[in-house]
Structure 1
Amino acid sequence: MEKTTQAVAYGSAAGSVLAGLTLNDWGVIIGIVVAVMTMLCNIFITIYFKQQSLKLYKARLQAELAGIKGEDDHES
């Protein structure tokens, strides 16, 4: 019984806080949420492209080293 009354009390408190927010308050909250989501997306995309770039550089280096070793074999 006590858990139920506590849940109802917290729920009604949260509901009254949300109902008391003005349009400006909602604008600020939505702006903050969008800014944080944009930041997280940019971090993810930056990390992803840096990993892909590193893979490409490693593949190019291995190809160049294989080419250099192959040229040395032909000369002797």
Structure 2
Amino acid sequence: MASFHDRIPSNMWRVVFYERRGNRVHMDRTGPWLPEKTHARQWADWFREQGYHVALQDQNGGLEKLHVGLPG
């Protein structure tokens, strides 16, 4: 039987939401951690279609910008 640690994903991803306030961009909130980047990307794409400014963040804090002009 596999141990608990063998079932923990090595890298988690989440959607990060940004909000523009005047000339500044603020990280507004984050979504839940997801075990697969493709799943997080699907959610990010859906939120982009709804008009949100989003990025993907990995568990190490790295950001993948999905909009030009976002910090990261």
- Which structure dedicates a bigger proportion of its chain to strand? 2
Mark yes or no: TM-score above 0.5: no
Q: TM-score, normalised by structure 2?
A: 0.24
Structure with the greater alpha carbon radius of gyration = 1
